[in-house]
Structure 1
Amino acid sequence: MYILKIGGSLITDKNAYCVPRKEEIKRFAKMIKSRWFDLQGKLVVVIGGGSYGNGVPLRYNLLDSEKRKKEDLLMMTVKMFEWINEVAMIFRNEGLPVYPFQTSSYCTTNEGNYDFCFMNPIKMSLQLGLLPITSGDFTFDKKKNFTIYSSDNVPELFVDHFDVQRVVILTDVPGIFESDKTKKIIKRVNQYNYKKIIENTGSSNKQDVTGGMNNKLKALIRVAQKNTNSIVCDGSKHNLIKALFSENPPGTIIEAWKKGDLL
């Protein structure tokens, strides 16, 4: 079982408002199709919100609980499902049996952290040999009423409900940098060095409402604590297949915590 997250900066114009990059989406669909024999029933695709997930909350004041209007709350979910459908149709046209899932329909949160998931529909879709596609969303939250649940956090949901071998995060950078100044790639993150790396990991330099690389890394640390490896690498190159299957994948490896080791 694999979870593949395709960053919004790769498949949208992230500094615009709801602008897809259709040729890039098609490129990713072709790469998945090339290994569909190995991936059928074993892959979930998570798409980054990009100029949808970051543009909509800003346009409709959804980040401000005092300024946002109840009649505008639907806009995040409506536009994100528009986005998922855009990707799903391009994948379908490339011969992939996709099925879209809206995160707010199967997941609720508590203070921004996931609280409950109903995964049966996604499990059944995999059993039928389909390719589930999902993303971040505006979720119902026990304490905050509503919160933006980032696509960076969505892989965590599946690690709790499936036997996931690897989580792959495709981004517009070659991995996690040691610092923004040196741009040196950290090859491995583990339970012994992760705290220092988190301190040096910054936010995105593009339109971003969910914390950029810093939030990605924190989410993947939680995945590692559940005994699952993750890869962060450059998706603009032909790294998708290597990141999923190679024993020496490109980018940064976030290593699963070894059983019995204390943090």
Structure 2
Amino acid sequence: MEGPVIDLSGVSVSLGGRPVLQDITWKVMPGDFFAVIGPNGGGKTTLLRAILGLIKPAAGTVRVLGGSPAEKRHLLGYVPQYRTFDFSYPVSVQEMVLSGRLGHVRGFPRRYNREDREMAASALQTMGIADLAGREIGRLSGGQQQRAIIARALAAGPEVLILDEPTVYVDAPTGDHFMEILDGLRETMTIVLVTHDIGALSSHVTKVACLNRHLYTHNDARITGDMIQAAYGCPVDLIAHGLPHRVFADHGEGEEP
């Protein structure tokens, strides 16, 4: 589509009488790899839930792929926070990934067809865990489990992939590899990722926003001191080292690299 795949206009959300999001206006365009950063409790998960149609805003509108979240939810792949999964449940990796196809299965009893199994196999291959398909999910490492969670979302064949803190429980090399995989997926889908960890962002991210009840963005891959100060509520100096992380604004002349 030519217009925004996610379009929020004046969105406000309150939970338990407490404002969590205020007057959020935001557009995500096709092919974006959009990262939203901000402190814990800043409303990042609530923002994703509003996009998914799991929370109804008190004000404003949410449009996804040109329609309402409820109409387009089957085209959204969602990777919730790692801790929301119960990995003690005795299920194989393949069975878990196949469950991502449930939104496409019709009739009762629900049975997976050839397309479902092919989509699940492709998702396992993409995440590099095809050889673990028969393993019990609880016996995998944390990084392998996270790959399985993402594969489950990919099995649905989404047009938009939404991830909530996908690298919080994995080591830095694994997190970097995740980012490389996600970048490769941008050829076929738009990606929105939220994290509280600025260090988790990589050069693959195309746009960045800061969220702490209000949303601050320049609609590109720069993070400025003003954005961080507005979101985190304190003065900051931004210093970036090393090449794959290039999301910070350029250093001023005469500053140490």
TM over 0.5: no
Greater relative contact order, per chain length (Cα 8 Å cut-off, separation 6+): 2
Interval of TM-score (by shorter of Structure 1 and Structure 2): 0.3 to 0.5
Normalising to structure 1: TM-score of the pair? 0.34
